[in-house]
Amino acid sequence: MKNDLELRRDILDELEWEPSVDAAEIGVTTHQGIVTLTGTVKSFSEKLTAARAVERVQGVKAIANDIEVRLAGSSARTDADIARAAFDALKWETLVPDHGIKMTVSKGWITLEGEVDWQYQKDAAFLAMHRLVGVTGVTNLITLRTRVSATEVKSRIEASFRRSAEVDAHKIRVETHDGKVILRGDLRSWAERQEAERTAWSAPGVTQVENLIAISS
């Protein structure tokens, strides 16, 4: 098991390895596998990429991403400019329905609302926003419509876990109720835990995932 010093060193190395992140501007603290990221980056996309890099490190149990987005002068945009760009981005994103999604922009922060049928559509809307110049953050309040029974949701998720080469299905318990999925168990890494959550979200009818899976030491 890594101590906090070893884990922090591995995280710093991984951030240095990630070419789209300026690791020199990011601070890292660790406590019993819980990682806190601080500092500043030049875009919201870079902030998310830093967190994904940390997820890849063995021994990470949780991440608090407190990095602040500070836009360079050339990246600054008015809220009206960002709103127009966000509208166009959703219109051109083929995975997102062209109706039912509303957005507001305040000081560069985009809030998305509305309803879609699938989690991948909700994710695609978020991804379309985070790439835009001038965006400082995105709150995704899009909800999912429930379409299938809890029993069917549970069986589909468990079958997907059994097919997966990245998740140990025998160590995960799945509970479902009215579109909500609760995952319990004990896995080897934060990345495996995140993969289990992504798998659960892929099932039709899932409107919420509560990931209670622990990371083994």
In whole angstroms, what is the distance from residue 93 CA to residue 98 CA?
A: 9
Residue 217: the pLDDT is 63
Of 175, 171, 96, the residue nearest 140 (C-alpha): 96
Residue 108: the pLDDT is 92
Could you name the CATH architecture of 76-144?
Answer: 2-Layer Sandwich (3.30)
Structural domain boundaries of the chain?
4-69, 76-144, 150-215
| pLDDT tens digits along 18-46 | 999 999 999 999 999 999 999 999 999 99
Would 4-69 and 150-215 be classified into the same CATH topology? yes
In whole angstroms, what is the distance from residue 115 CA to residue 136 CA?
A: 24
Residue 130: the pLDDT is 86
Could you name the CATH architecture of 150-215?
Answer: 2-Layer Sandwich (3.30)
Residue 16: the pLDDT is 94
Residue 151: the pLDDT is 84
Contact status, residue 79 vs residue 105, Cβ threshold 8 Å:
yes
Residue segments in the chain with a per-residue pLDDT below the cut of 50: none
| pLDDT tens digits along 44-79 | 999 999 999 999 999 998 999 999 998 877 677 899
CATH 3.30.310.10: does it fit domain 4-69?
Answer: no
